[in-house]
Chains A and B, each alone.
Chain A
Amino acid sequence: MSGALRILRAGPLATIQDRGRPGMLRYGIGASGAMVKGAFAAAGGLLERRGSAGIEFTTTGLDFAVDCDLQAGFCGGAFRLTVNGEARNWDAAHRLEAGAVVRIAPGGWGNYGYLRLDREIATTPLLGSRSTNSVVGLGGFEGRALLAGDRLPLGEAGEEAGTECAAPAAPDDRPVRVLWGLHADLFPSVLRSRFVSTPFEISKRLDRMGVRLDNGGVFPQDRILSLVSDAVVAGDIQILGDGTPIVLMRDHQPTGGYPRIATIITADLDRFAQMRPGTFVRFEPVTLDRALAAGKGAL
């Protein structure tokens, strides 16, 4: 197998992603990987064979053309899909013929969607992964987000897909569950109570590194804490000096020095990642046991 996929239009921050490069924190490198792991896996599960990497795109979508016959899986959020101008179902696999032009246009919900193919995207893996870390400029396609005109070489057939998994549902009103974080004890109890009782608005300032929340007047602006820089995990909620909460996401720095009040549990991180700017999130602290029970089978 071979061929190529040509990008005709790329929204901001369309990147090649896979399961990421875990295990590199000690070298100062975060894992990256798909922002919505469940949707990335579901897109692959739609296919008879699947390459290990795919393309993650943001709300404005992606247009591309292929120069060979292949099968492609589409999942994550809700987007409007056409192949050569004809409407096709989202959350579905489609056969594309050589020359096919695919347009993925904005749809009803979600920040991220995924395209998986029946073969590999033949960019060079770095440190065991094709994921793009666009903050560092590592991996993916020339270490950067995709642009119109990019031609992605396609490679060998992917492995036979395993079990099909359900496409994740749209985020609902349920609270996002958290564990109290590394520095929760440094926040006075009144602030912790307000953190739990206040709905926070998802701001427009979100990317693969982090999601800024509207402060909602919860955290004072004059908090100055001198903390030893320590390990960060995806889902950590840190509070900046001006009181802004930021949820650290897949391209987070490996360490951080801002106080972290809580960490979103694995089972709820995909759902949080799909919440659009302008929607509100409420946080609900749970025990580690509950987080583990909820996370059984989560990626």
Chain B
Amino acid sequence: MDESLPLPTIMPLGDRALLIRFGTTLTDGANRAAIALARRLEAAVPVGVEEIDPNLISVLLRYDPAKIEPQRLAGEVRLMASAAADGREFEARRHTIKVRFGGEDGPDLDAVAAMLGLTVGDFLEAHNVRPLRVLTTGFAPGFVYCGFHPPALVLPRRSEVRGRVPPGTILFAAGQTAITSTPIPTGWHVIGRTDFSNFDATAMPPTRLREGDDVQFAEAGA
């Protein structure tokens, strides 16, 4: 992307953070812009910024008001977003995640395929046909959202929330596939399980997947 990012909306979130948002709906462009802006900010951290937190369509900047006025910081961020990129949009590492789909590991797989009008085999082929992008890490430690699937693979969440699912659970909903890293309750469809662990509290950084990375899902043993 040899061009500037879309123009963001910058607003205070409390008196110690700014939220820089690229729209209000989850689109590929908004997510790419949030990741790209976070990378630009990391490469040249503005004075007074204490934390850079990329989200699905935004970047949260926590700042120390004793070191920078929020209005000035917002101006610097706007300038950074409007600057032309030099070559690649952002670096993306590639990960292959082996998954045991279906059965006890993925009790919703059959229903998911049926709701989409596909056989399980066709669903898995479509699901794993190409790498997805890590959209962000959020909600819980090491929990990653990966996307986007094409419209033919979009399903809403379940109407009921399931009790805690174990770490490594592969979730599917809203055109995305997510990976849990801690036990959490979920309203997403549970389609599989991986031995890949994305969270280690004794390591720094504590996660292996990073927003912007490519994730290739594959059937374990295949």
Residues of A whose CB lies within 8 Å of any CB of B are: 22-29, 126-127, 136-139, 179, 181-182, 227-231, 233-236, 253-255, 263-266, 288, 291-292, 295-296
Tell me the complex Cα distance, A67–B204, Å: 35
Chain A CB within 8 A of B154 CB = no
Cβ contacts under 8 Å, A291 to chain B: 14-15
Q: How many residues of chain B have a CB within 8 Å of chain A?
A: 43
Given contacts A253-B139, A265-B15, A127 and B206 within 8 Å (CB-CB): yes
Least CB distance from A285 to B in Å reads 12
Contact B55 A229 (CB under 8 A): yes
Binary per-residue interface labels of chain B (10-31) against chain A in the complex, 1 for a CB within 8 Å, 0 otherwise: 0111111101010011100000
Interface residues of B in 39-58 (CB under 8 A from A): 50-58
Contact B25 A295 (CB under 8 A): no
Contact A288 B141 (CB under 8 A): no
Cβ contacts under 8 Å, B79 to chain A: none
Tell me the complex Cα distance, A24–B139, Å: 12
Cβ contacts under 8 Å, A235 to chain B: 14
User: Who on chain B is nearest to A297 by CB?
Assistant: B66
Contact B14 A24 (CB under 8 A): no
User: Who on chain A is nearest to B16 by CB?
Assistant: A266
Contact B55 A255 (CB under 8 A): yes
Determine which residue in B56, B182, B201 has the highest number of CB atoms from chain A within 10 A of its CB, and name it: B201
Report, nearest first, the 6 A-B pairs whose CB atoms are least far apart.
A231-B60, A291-B15, A255-B138, A25-B53, A263-B14, A28-B141
Cβ contacts under 8 Å, B50 to chain A: 22-23
Name the one of B15, B66, B70, B140 contacting A136, with C-beta atoms under 8 angstroms.
B140
Tell me the complex Cα distance, A255–B56, Å: 10
18 contacts between A and B (CB under 8 A): A22-B51, A26-B53, A28-B138, A28-B143, A29-B141, A136-B141, A227-B24, A228-B24, A229-B56, A229-B139, A230-B56, A233-B17, A253-B139, A253-B140, A263-B14, A266-B16, A288-B12, A295-B16
User: Who on chain B is nearest to A235 by CB?
Assistant: B14
Name the one of A27, A182, A227, A295 contacting B137, with C-beta atoms under 8 angstroms.
A27
User: Who on chain A is nearest to B57 by CB?
Assistant: A228
Given contacts A27-B206, A266-B14, A230 and B19 within 8 Å (CB-CB): yes
Chain A CB within 8 A of B62 CB = yes
Cβ contacts under 8 Å, A266 to chain B: 14-16
Least CB distance from A96 to B in Å reads 32
Cβ contacts under 8 Å, B221 to chain A: none
Contact B24 A27 (CB under 8 A): no
Name the one of B16, B143, B201 contacting A127, with C-beta atoms under 8 angstroms.
B201
Cβ contacts under 8 Å, B207 to chain A: 27-28
Name the one of A23, A126, A233 contacting B202, with C-beta atoms under 8 angstroms.
A126
Chain A CB within 8 A of B205 CB = yes
User: Who on chain B is nearest to A231 by CB?
Assistant: B60
Contact B141 A25 (CB under 8 A): no
Chain A CB within 8 A of B65 CB = yes
Chain A CB within 8 A of B142 CB = yes
User: Who on chain B is nearest to A234 by CB?
Assistant: B14
Least CB distance from B7 to A in Å reads 18
Contact A23 B51 (CB under 8 A): yes
User: Who on chain A is nearest to B56 by CB?
Assistant: A228
Contact A288 B70 (CB under 8 A): yes
Name the one of A231, A233, A254, A255 contacting B16, with C-beta atoms under 8 angstroms.
A233
Least CB distance from A294 to B in Å reads 8
Least CB distance from B220 to A in Å reads 25
Cβ contacts under 8 Å, B51 to chain A: 22-23, 25-26
Cβ contacts under 8 Å, A182 to chain B: 11, 13, 19
Least CB distance from A279 to B in Å reads 23
Cβ contacts under 8 Å, B199 to chain A: 27-28
Least CB distance from B132 to A in Å reads 17
Determine which residue in B13, B24, B65 has the highest number of CB atoms from chain A within 10 A of its CB, and name it: B13
Contacts beyond the supplied A26-B51, A230-B55: 10 A-B pairs with Cβ under 8 Å = A23-B51, A25-B138, A26-B137, A139-B201, A229-B139, A233-B17, A254-B140, A255-B55, A255-B138, A266-B16
Cβ contacts under 8 Å, B17 to chain A: 231, 233
User: Who on chain A is nearest to B15 by CB?
Assistant: A291
Given contacts A179-B14, A233-B17, A265-B15, A28 and B57 within 8 Å (CB-CB): no
Cβ contacts under 8 Å, A26 to chain B: 51-54, 137, 211
Tell me the complex Cα distance, A236–B19, Å: 13
User: Who on chain B is nearest to A286 by CB?
Assistant: B15
Tell me the complex Cα distance, A29–B198, Å: 13
Contact A28 B142 (CB under 8 A): yes
